[in-house]
A and B are shown apart, each in its own frame.
Chain A
């Protein structure tokens, strides 16, 4: 017969306290997950009323008139982000290759350190940098200055993911290429980097998602516009700016449109993220 007192499973209420502990931590985790669903859900709920073909294809209407759309913002944002990707990709991928294959010692460590630290610099400070570099000297706003700010924001992520991608190509592939007497250029760009391509693309998608929703730098680089803007050397309409301006305005109709724009933006960003993580890369094994 078991002596219940000696083998008391709940001695001192420990089992209860443990159960409460697990429940509490689980509650917090659920709360965090629910927060996302709450925000996403409400944005879709409000935004769905605003998004329709007209919304997606028309220009904004002047103050006081209802209706209109965010077509110029969508196009403008696509252009600035595309330009930024063009700038940041070769720079970031090559730096990642440098860190994975050619850099040694303190030099490589410093580059890595700078990249990590840069990833935490507020986007508004980087926007100011782009302003001093490309807006002030030319005395007008431009899409290019926004793209430069975006590119600087994208670089740390591209560098880190490219480095990891190249590092994870098996050493035996690298040795196989070198043992053939392949030149450094060919062994790197025709064997190793192609093998790392899926992971590099994942990193690119994630960094695009990162900047697609950025608003702060746009305030004084692209500046925004109510017209069709496709010339990057001039101010350009940007979707996040339109959302921001509509949201802080006093007009009900503009609030409605802000929700519509927000829905487009959040869905685009989430789709990019999910595509990056599931289509191109198996979920990383977190230790």
Chain B
């Protein structure tokens, strides 16, 4: 049998090399991400150790860097976002998956998905000049009047603050929650719905008691994924959260998140320790979102695997 021309063999070998090298290089990039962030945080890691995570003072002036107020701001704003987006998103997904006729579902889905395309700085702009004034003048006072007995809604209302950031984040993660939940719900086999309806249940009752519980894991995965997005969101939050590293009980109070402190202070960082502390925040964000995403993907994998 004639052997292939050496040139043909060589070009195939080179091509395969390029393909494998590309995939390998990609893995190297992800590893390098972790390595470089760790390297940059090294000074701060050595100086503060684990205390970094629960020191409640973030004071660049006297070189005290504690991440607790930032973690607080990140957690609270993300929680608000998840609650709001989860509520609206899961209900919207239910509508899109089961109740909306085809001619309505597609354009509606598409419009909601476009929410994810809007740049973060545009959301920030809108939040700063539209939402914040609304909260200061109408929504905030209304909440204070009705729910003011809760410490959550007490205190001065500036317009910018945790609540505003939470609402903006909710809008930003809504498409994630909706789109993934819709896919998960739609993936529930038709015969489950038929089983429910043949028992005499209405469509709504079937969805509520049969389909949604079956979709529970996948929807939870969607929420986790959306949480990951909320935790890392930077610019929109920076513009509406007030940028003050304090822990307070009121949702109207200004706050600070891991991501927004990096955005605000990185180019002003005067000392190596300052810079290193900020990079350590970046490392924290990287690790947290890596774990969140890995967990979410695992959940989604088990949902779609059996399809």
Contacts and interface: CB of A to CB of B under 8 A. Distances in A.
B16 A36 contact: no
Interface stretch (B23-31, B53-61, B144-152, B246-254): B23-31
Majority DSSP secondary structure for residues of B touching A? helix
Given A214-B119, A287-B186, A98 B19 contact: yes
Interface in B1-23: 8, 11-12, 14-16, 18-20, 22-23
B129 interface: yes
Contact of A183 (B12, B20, B122): B12
Nearest to B22: A94
Contacts of A195: none
B217 interface: no
Interface string A191-234: 00000000000000000011011111001100100000000000
A247 B124 contact: yes
Contacts of A277: 110
Contacts of A189: 15
A262 B125 contact: yes
A63 interface: no
Contact of B36 (A91, A133, A247, A273): A133
Given A31-B92, A102-B19, A123 B234 contact: yes
A140 to B, nearest CB: 12
B36 A120 contact: no
B297 A94 contact: no
Contacts of A247: 121, 124-125, 128-129, 239
Contacts of A92: 26
Interface in B187-242: 187, 202-205, 207-208, 225, 228-229, 231-235, 239
A258 B125 contact: yes
Contacts, number: 272
A212 B267 CA distance: 22
A49 interface: no
Nearest to A209: B117
B99 interface: yes
A136 to B, nearest CB: 8
Contacts of A240: 119, 121, 235
Interface string B65-90: 00000000000000000000001110
B239 A28 contact: no
A22 to B, nearest CB: 5
Contacts of B27: 110-111, 114
Interface stretch (A51-59, A171-179, A263-271): A263-271
A122 B171 CA distance: 17
A170 to B, nearest CB: 21
Contacts of B293: 116-117, 119-121
A124 B18 contact: no
A152 B19 contact: no
B303 interface: no
Interface string A15-52: 10111011011111111110111011011001000000
A110 B23 CA distance: 10
Q: How large is the interface on A (under 10, 10 to 19, 20 to 34, 35 or more residues)?
A: 35 or more
A39 B126 contact: yes
Contacts of B36: 129, 132-133
A258 B239 CA distance: 13
A15 B203 CA distance: 10
Interface stretch (B43-51, B135-143, B279-287): B279-287
Interface of A: 14-15, 17-19, 21-22, 24-33, 35-37, 39-40, 42-43, 46, 90-92, 94-95, 97-99, 102-103, 110-111, 113-126, 128-129, 132-133, 136, 152, 155, 159, 183-185, 188-189, 209-210, 212-216, 219-220, 223, 240, 243-244, 247-248, 255, 258-259, 262, 265-266, 269-270, 273, 277, 283, 286-287
26 contacts: A22-B99, A28-B87, A28-B88, A28-B95, A36-B118, A43-B122, A94-B18, A94-B19, A99-B23, A120-B290, A120-B293, A121-B286, A122-B231, A122-B286, A123-B232, A132-B39, A159-B26, A185-B12, A213-B120, A216-B234, A243-B125, A244-B235, A247-B124, A286-B109, A286-B182, A287-B183
Interface of B: 8, 11-12, 14-16, 18-20, 22-23, 25-27, 29-30, 32-33, 36-37, 39-40, 87-89, 91-92, 94-96, 99-100, 106, 108-112, 114-115, 117-126, 128-130, 171, 174-175, 178, 182-183, 186-187, 202-205, 207-208, 225, 228-229, 231-235, 239, 259, 262-263, 266-267, 278-279, 282-283, 285-286, 289-290, 292-294, 296-297, 307
| A-B interface, 4 closest residue pairs, ranked by CB to CB distance from nearest | A213-B119, A122-B232, A94-B22, A25-B95
Given A19-B204, A26-B99, A262-B121, 4 more contacts: A32-B111, A120-B232, A124-B259, A266-B122
